């Protein structure tokens, strides 16, 4: 990838933009080969969610990723290039796609800003089902967006990735780019009116909806009992069983309003949305980071062991103490942290972690949490780490292969992107992936909500069912 950071303000005038694009075409396309030009430009602060609402179309690939508590968000819209994979080695093929795209990319502009330059957004289904995949999403999707808007703190960046070949009309291209840039600047100027234009959430209606649709837990309870029997007979150590709740509204669900409500209610979670370009969106508020890599420094999370939040401060403290001292919950947590350490070590990393777990406290649930850090050696790609970690025991079980067999045996629905890796990799090798839990698949007026619980020795079926219902309420109350 060629980097030319000197053009820091290419959008001063449409004539300057046109002239640069014309020179680029003449310079790089003498051999009639396709090139990708990535332009990064700082812009006045804008909410990427407002940009997603304003310019994204249902038939385009989209990706939204936000960490509200850290004031970070990124929206990726449409695709300059993409790959959908229904085959083995999907992580390796996605890595090769990134390599091939970067080989023909020239990056210019304000490349010192957070989220500047080329970013590749990807999603992987929980199971790699190959050509047999009937999920709304392929086994893997990865794309380089045409438009990307991101913010961190009070700064924002606009990234345009454009294809240039020997036959492209530079005058039309410059005009379209200039128009898109100014459209986004107008959104920035109107940001105060964005929230007021969103649909209000009727919490009481959502509670009634939950009671109406939460009627079939019998099969899940029977599955939990069967898994506990396998555990007692020492055939398996843990299985994470999930439940899918199908909901229909009289009108279509509103993607942007739902995401806005999620980020307000769950600022300590990762708010996310990814589309398949067919009008279906997978969204959620996940507390679980799979990997974060910045300047080759990796942070990942062991997140396992759960308890509800208390209604009073005393009750909350008591529940937290029970969680921290529960041998069952601590054992479940150790299984996850040991797995992560083992997998990272296999790739040549030297992971470090604190000896005792901490508490991650969310609005209505709290977890045992241990952050794990390591330096990423040269030559190890972020997607290699994702491939090694997915699925962790926190979302599958142990042993991993046997637990996945039991999931396929007992779950009567397609997990799709539930509990699977979703995230991005940039042109410098930085990356962030989450685990797609506390999530829902939205399709017009229909939604499928997902939640699960880890079944281990000593699990109480009633408590596990209550935990799943609690997690489902998180999504149901947020969907609009």
Q: Are residues 159 and 241 in the same domain?
A: no
Q: Are residues 271 and 193 in the same domain?
A: no
Closest-CA residue to 375 (of 289, 300, 428, 298)? 298
CB 368 within 8 A of CB 353: no
184-188, 324-328, 431-435, 446-450: least confident range: 184-188
Phi, psi of 152 (to 5 degrees): -145, 120
Q: How far apart are CA 127 and CA 137, in angstroms?
A: 11
Chain mean position to CA 335: 24
| Termini Cα distance of the chain | 42
Residue 199, pLDDT > 70, answer no
Percent of the chain with pLDDT over 90: 68
Per-residue pLDDT of 50-82, as tens digits, reads: 999 999 999 999 999 999 999 999 999 999 999
CATH number of the domain to which 430 belongs: 3.60.120.10
Residue-level pLDDT at 210? 45
Residue-level pLDDT at 30? 66
Helix 218-232 and helix 461-476: axis angle, to 10°?
130
Mean pLDDT for 130-137 is 74
Q: How far apart are CA 235 and CA 241, in angstroms?
A: 16
Phi, psi of 118 (to 5 degrees): -70, 130
Mean pLDDT for 189-212 is 54
Residue 7, pLDDT > 70, answer no
Q: Are residues 407 and 425 in the same domain?
A: yes
Residue 45, pLDDT > 80, answer yes
Per-residue pLDDT of 251-294, as tens digits, reads: 999 999 999 999 999 999 999 999 999 999 999 999 999 999 99
Q: Are residues 230 and 140 in the same domain?
A: no
The last residue of one of the domains, among 197, 218, 238, is 197
Q: pLDDT band at residue 458, thresholds of 50, 70 and 90?
A: confident
Q: Are residues 375 and 443 in the same domain?
A: yes
Closest-CA residue to 72 (of 316, 432, 346)? 432
Mean pLDDT score across all residues of the chain: 89
Q: Which residues of 243-254 are buried (b: 16+ CB within 10 A; e: fewer)?
A: bbbebebeeebb
Q: How far apart are CA 405 and CA 384, in angstroms?
A: 23
Q: Are residues 148 and 269 in the same domain?
A: no
Domain count for the chain: 2
Instruction: Supply angle C-alpha 317, 321, 324, rounded to 5.
Output: 140
480 preceded by cis ω (within 30°)?
no
- List the domain range (segments joined by +) for residue 384: 203-476
Q: Are residues 243 and 342 in the same domain?
A: yes
Q: What is the largest CA-CA distance in the chain?
A: 75
Q: Are residues 13 and 143 in the same domain?
A: yes
**Which residue do the tokens 């069952």 mark?**
328
Q: How far apart are CA 213 and CA 449, in angstroms?
A: 11
Percent of the chain with pLDDT over 70: 91
Chain mean position to CA 354: 26
Q: Are residues 220 and 163 in the same domain?
A: no
CB 393 within 8 A of CB 304: yes
Record the tokens describing residue 146, joined without a space: 């045409």
Record the tokens describing residue 91, joined without a space: 């992580």
The last residue of one of the domains, among 180, 197, 214, is 197
Per-residue pLDDT of 77-129, as tens digits, reads: 999 999 999 988 999 999 999 999 999 999 998 888 999 999 999 999 999 97
Q: How far apart are CA 367 and CA 354, in angstroms?
A: 16
Residue-level pLDDT at 201? 47
CB count in 10 Å sphere of residue 185: 15
Phi, psi of 82 (to 5 degrees): -155, 165
- Catalytically active residues, by annotation: 238, 288
Per-residue pLDDT of 387-400, as tens digits, reads: 999 999 999 999 99
Q: How far apart are CA 472 and CA 460, in angstroms?
A: 19
The last residue of one of the domains, among 197, 227, 248, is 197
Q: Are residues 120 and 218 in the same domain?
A: no
Residue-level pLDDT at 197? 60
Q: Are residues 123 and 214 in the same domain?
A: no
Per-residue pLDDT of 142-151, as tens digits, reads: 999 999 999 9
Q: Does the pTM of the predicted model rise above 0.85?
A: yes
CB 398 within 8 A of CB 255: no
Residue-level pLDDT at 215? 42
Instruction: Supply angle C-alpha 422, 425, 427, rounded to 5.
Output: 165
């Amino acid at each position: 990838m060629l980097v030319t950071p000197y053009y820091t303000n290419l959008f001063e005038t449409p004539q300057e933009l046109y002239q640069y694009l014309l020179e680029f075409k003449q310079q790089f396309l003498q051999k009639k080969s396709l090139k990708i030009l990535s332009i990064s430009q700082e812009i006045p602060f804008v909410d990427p969610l407002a940009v997603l609402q304003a310019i994204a179309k249902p038939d385009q690939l989209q990706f939204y990723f936000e960490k509200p508590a850290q004031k970070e968000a990124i929206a990726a819209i449409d695709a300059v290039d993409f790959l959908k994979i229904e085959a083995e080695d999907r992580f390796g093929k996605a890595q090769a796609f990134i390599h091939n795209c970067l080989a023909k990319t020239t990056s210019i502009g304000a490349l010192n800003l957070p989220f500047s330059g080329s970013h590749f957004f990807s999603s992987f289904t929980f199971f790699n089902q190959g050509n047999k995949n009937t999920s709304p999403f392929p086994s893997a999707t990865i794309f380089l967006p045409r438009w990307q808007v991101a913010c961190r703190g009070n700064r924002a960046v606009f990234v345009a990735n454009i294809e240039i070949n020997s036959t492209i009309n530079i005058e039309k291209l410059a005009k379209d780019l200039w128009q898109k840039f100014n459209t986004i600047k107008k959104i920035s100027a109107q940001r105060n009116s964005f929230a007021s234009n969103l649909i209000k959430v009727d919490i009481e209606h959502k509670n009634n909806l939950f009671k109406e649709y939460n009627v079939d837990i019998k099969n899940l309870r029977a599955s939990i009992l069967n898994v506990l029997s396998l555990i007692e007979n020492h055939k398996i150590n843990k299985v994470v069983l999930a439940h899918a709740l199908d909901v229909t509204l009289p009108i279509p669900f509103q993607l942007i309003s739902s995401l806005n409500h999620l980020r307000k209610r769950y600022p300590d979670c990762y708010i996310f949305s990814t589309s398949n370009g067919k009008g279906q969106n997978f969204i959620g508020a996940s507390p679980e980071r799979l990997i974060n890599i910045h300047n080759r420094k990796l942070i990942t999370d062991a997140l396992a062991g759960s308890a509800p939040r208390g209604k009073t401060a005393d009750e909350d403290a008591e529940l937290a103490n029970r969680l921290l001292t529960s041998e069952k919950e601590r054992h479940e947590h150790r299984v996850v942290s040991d797995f992560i350490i083992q997998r990272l070590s296999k790739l040549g990393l030297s992971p470090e972690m604190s000896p005792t777990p901490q508490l991650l406290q969310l609005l209505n649930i709290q977890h045992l949490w241990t952050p794990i850090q390591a330096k990423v050696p040269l030559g190890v790609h972020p997607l290699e780490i994702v491939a090694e970690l997915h699925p962790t025991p926190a979302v599958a079980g142990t042993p991993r292969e046997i637990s996945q067999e039991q999931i396929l045996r007992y779950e009567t629905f397609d997990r799709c992107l539930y509990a699977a890796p979703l995230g991005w990799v940039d042109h410098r090798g930085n990356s962030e992936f989450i685990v797609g839990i506390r999530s829902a698949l939205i399709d017009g007026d229909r939604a499928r909500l997902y939640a699960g619980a880890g079944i281990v020795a000593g699990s109480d079926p009633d408590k596990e069912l209550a935990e799943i219902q609690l997690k489902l309420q998180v999504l149901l109350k947020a969907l609009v």
